[in-house]
Structure 1
């Protein structure tokens, strides 16, 4: 299922028509390029990957693809990804707690000098270098998580997952459903 802001559909005369992806060469090529982008960025942070995805989205938009379509595919690929916090010698949670405790003793650390003092005091408590404290402090932020693994998926499967997710999202948001089918017999 997708988030509702990613729902790509058109409304006409009170009916909602989801924008399903056709399994045509253009869509398959886009999906494959996006899969390769994820594969090539194993070891990159979420923030770095997000920047590259933003550039990819812009380029795809220039080629005529809707930005929501590209975001949906990236969203689905993110589900195939495994992220981990960067490895640090110090426990990020304990470091954050100590940094905030120390900062609260001095009031807000508004200058670079005050910030450095807080980090040095915490580093002394942990018998570590200030750089290690700073790395552990930043390791708990989601954008600093590192892409460790990416579970393989084909371009065709990605497009099928997109169509399924689009339907799930639409059904979840629906207040009333009318289904018309045309079948022989």
Structure 2
């Protein structure tokens, strides 16, 4: 994320267009120079790095681009730690205590530092210089750059582009996301991302024609705070791993900018999966939890006519969708869905079981951890008894297969 003062965009006809950088030789050189500047400051104080960045940006017309890239490198690729051989808070306490015992003089500072060094040398020898260096070593500008993971110049430009788009979403108060006809796995991936980032949404549509997701933003939900806007911004890099989507956001205009039309009541911002933004998030894992991956691994060791499938169609339900974790498919055509309910918040559990009831589906095996306090969450699973599998530490695939056999005893559907 970039601070507000480093966002660069324009507004045409009420539509926000974030600034984007082309990978020109000049921009690539700027990114390369910044990366080399950080590498040259390894082992030095943040204050030294800031001074080098200040000199680098002096008189440049693109200083906001430079500052934005530097911000991303500082917060995304760098590790700063408190240096020195002593805990700064303990050093300050001892130095201030000793200073009160000495009248002011030119020799007072050196005398206090030497006494403090002797007093604090119980674990390792300290010099007066060590004490002086440790006095304020925990202040941000005195911390040391201890590690730096340099990106490629092209990747830094791509990260800057995405940060501009994220900054726009930061002020969104409504968002509509259209997932075009896609692979079932991509739908599932998308909806799991919205849940992971705590986004509240309503879902309409079906797997054949696509889904429309309507999300509320920070202004409508939290009275203008930016907590939800931050969640939307963090959601965007995850969304880039999903194919075939269109996004439209409604924003509050910036009133702090002199060039903003005072008659603008709202702005619009649009994105699609074809806009060329690149995510810096890692590719999603095949399984969403250790429970799912462990179940899959144990199932693979069984000799059975049942096949465990990961790619499962979504089940539309009024007010949402069900995202089954697996499908069990028998070679004779029988099949059931498997939903694993592990540890989660009470509100999640209530919604999960409510959607399962609304679906009316009788072919969903519900596997529930005994560690969950369903009663405390206000969940009564009794109407799932025939399809319920309880487990403690790990989910036994043989128990799930037994339920599958019982549910499909009459054979595959005609």
Q: What interval of TM-score do these two structures reach, taking the shorter chain for normalisation?
A: 0.7 to 0.9
- Separation of aligned partners in 2, 1:174 and 1:43: 40
Q: CA RMSD for the aligned pairs?
A: 2.9
Corresponding residue of 1:46: 46
Corresponding residue of 2:113: 119
Aligned residue for 1:138, secondary structure, equals coil
Aligned residue for 1:159, secondary structure, equals helix
Aligned residue for 2:136, secondary structure, equals helix
The answer to whether 1:83 aligns with 2:61 is no
Cα offsets for 1:100-155 (capped at 9, x unmatched)? 4445x46xx98755545543543343255432321221322222222222112111
C-alpha displacement of 1:71: 0.3
Cα offsets for 1:50-87 (capped at 9, x unmatched)? 1111111125x1xxx42211100011111201222223
Unaligned runs of 5+ in 1: none
How many aligned positions are there? 176
C-alpha displacement of 1:180: 5.0
C-alpha displacement of 1:14: 4.1
Q: Contact between 2:81 and 2:144, CA under 8 Å: does it hold in 1?
A: yes
- Separation of aligned partners in 1, 2:80 and 2:115: 31
Aligned residue for 1:86, secondary structure, equals coil
C-alpha displacement of 1:13: 4.7
Under a length normalisation based on structure 1, what TM-score does the superposition of the two structures give?
Answer: 0.78
- Separation of aligned partners in 1, 2:13 and 2:169: 18
Q: Contact between 2:88 and 2:134, CA under 8 Å: does it hold in 1?
A: yes
Larger Rg: 2
**Which deviates the most, 116-125 or 150-159?**
116-125
- Separation of aligned partners in 1, 2:77 and 2:49: 14
Corresponding residue of 2:277: none
Corresponding residue of 1:71: 67
Corresponding residue of 1:130: 128
Question: In 2 relative to 1, CA 170–111 (structure 1 residues): closer, same or farther, beyond 3 Å?
Answer: farther
C-alpha displacement of 1:4: 1.4
- Separation of aligned partners in 2, 1:181 and 1:166: 12
Unaligned runs of 5+ in 2: 174-249, 252-267, 275-414
**Higher fraction of strand:** 2
**Higher fraction of helix:** 1
Cα offsets for 1:78-100 (capped at 9, x unmatched)? 12012222232x32221122234
- Separation of aligned partners in 1, 2:4 and 2:136: 31
The equivalences for 1:97-176 within 5 A come to 97-103=93-99, 105=100, 115-116=109-110, 118-127=112-121, 128-175=126-173, 176=250
Cα offsets for 1:19-43 (capped at 9, x unmatched)? 1112222211211121122122222
Aligned residue for 2:170, secondary structure, equals helix
Question: In 2 relative to 1, CA 179–126 (structure 1 residues): closer, same or farther, beyond 3 Å?
Answer: closer
Q: Contact between 2:82 and 2:138, CA under 8 Å: does it hold in 1?
A: yes
Aligned residue for 2:44, secondary structure, equals coil
